[in-house]
Chain A
């Protein structure tokens, strides 16, 4: 699909910048006002990890209540299907339970869980790709990437365009964009999830947004004139 086919004018399709719930944008961040919240968050994270380590299934339920929706949303954006996303979330919880004894607290428990989720999603993608290769070797009709119906949104065509553009990014660019812009994680958290530096996370987001902008923006007026 051509990139220009996805283009919509920014004025018509971009809603006003929404207030972020979990992360303050850099240009709105106020230093020093979030320290108590961060402490409380760290304490909760520590307690959650300890409860999960003790084998308490209610702790896993708490993890699900706090982060399950974001986990599933991230998995769906990586895998493109709700069913696959649910499988990935379930597999992630099982891996967390199996590996909790080895969790040493180098990163936060939630960060660690999301790292497992991202890896699980890419394992699932690879597995799906292998199955597709085997199917095409057997002369089966090729299965198109599944994009299932999702909850109605204000701009369905915009979402489709964004999904298509995201699929063309590199894996790291896509992951960082989804984690930062969609799920609202901070670069410090993303660096722990993807095992990269914070600076690399910032740079990757910059490159991702630059590429997305190129793919999504309509042809400039002078470009169109040049084409004529």
Chain B
């Protein structure tokens, strides 16, 4: 086999035994290849400096102990991997499907519409609403009585202050009408009810001040 210096690296990387022999022959007549070949082989030789196979007797007993401990732990633990091979693939598939279905149903139950709280049943809520509406109606009637008393004064305001009270009452009535319209659409909204109550209280105070002024 004829080889040249150009084949050297290829043979170093992946040469056949015959090619190595040919390289050795070539190196006998080529100083550069002889040097490269010697250096290449020397690297293999120098690697032996990194071999230290001295044994430390304590290592195996230590490993053995840890293996035994792991075995012991393993027998006390439910090992799915060991269990599964005892079931056929169809049973494993069925079990996986059942588990997936269970997950799906659980998800649907959790993410579905909110369940009714027994403490806030519609009956009780409707009863509470009825109570509020009754109280509100009574409050409105009481304020209407005050308004009736203040009506003559408001129709003929003698002072600038009374005229201002009348303007204020007009604004309050307008706001009350708006809020009543909104509570009509959403009767259970407690926030609207509180706002409405605040408007009625303000109207009551204003009427009382007008009547006070008259005295």
**Interface residues in chain B, defined as those with a beta carbon under 8 Å from any beta carbon in chain A:** 9, 12-17, 20-21, 23-24, 38-56, 59-60, 62-64, 66-68, 70-71, 81-82
Contact = CB atoms under 8 A, between A and B. Distances in A.
Given A57-B67, A94-B70, A29 B53 contact: no
Contacts, number: 128
Interface of A: 10, 13-18, 25-31, 55, 57, 60-61, 64, 68-70, 72-73, 76-77, 82, 86, 89-90, 93-94, 97-98, 101-102, 150-151, 153-155, 158-159, 162-163, 166, 177-178, 181-182, 199, 202-203, 205-206, 209, 212-213, 216-217
A70 B55 CA distance: 10
A90 B63 contact: yes
B45 A68 contact: no
A14 B52 contact: no
Contact of A159 (B50, B54, B63, B81): B50
Contact of A64 (B13, B54, B63, B68): B63
17 contacts: A57-B64, A57-B68, A61-B64, A68-B59, A69-B55, A73-B52, A94-B66, A153-B52, A155-B46, A162-B50, A166-B50, A202-B14, A206-B9, A209-B12, A213-B40, A213-B43, A216-B46
Given A158-B49, A159-B50, A55 B39 contact: no
A10 B41 CA distance: 11
Contacts of A15: 45-46, 48
B53 to A, nearest CB: 4
Given A158-B46, A209-B43, A199 B70 contact: no
B46 A60 contact: no
Q: What is the interface of chain A mostly: helix, strand, loop, or mixed?
A: helix
Contact of B66 (A64, A77, A82, A93): A93
Nearest to B71: A55
Contact of B49 (A16, A31, A68, A155): A155
A148 to B, nearest CB: 11
A213 to B, nearest CB: 6
Contact of B53 (A10, A27, A70): A70
Contacts of A55: 71
Contacts of B46: 13-15, 155, 158, 162, 216
Given A76-B52, A97-B67, A30 B17 contact: yes
Nearest to B35: A10
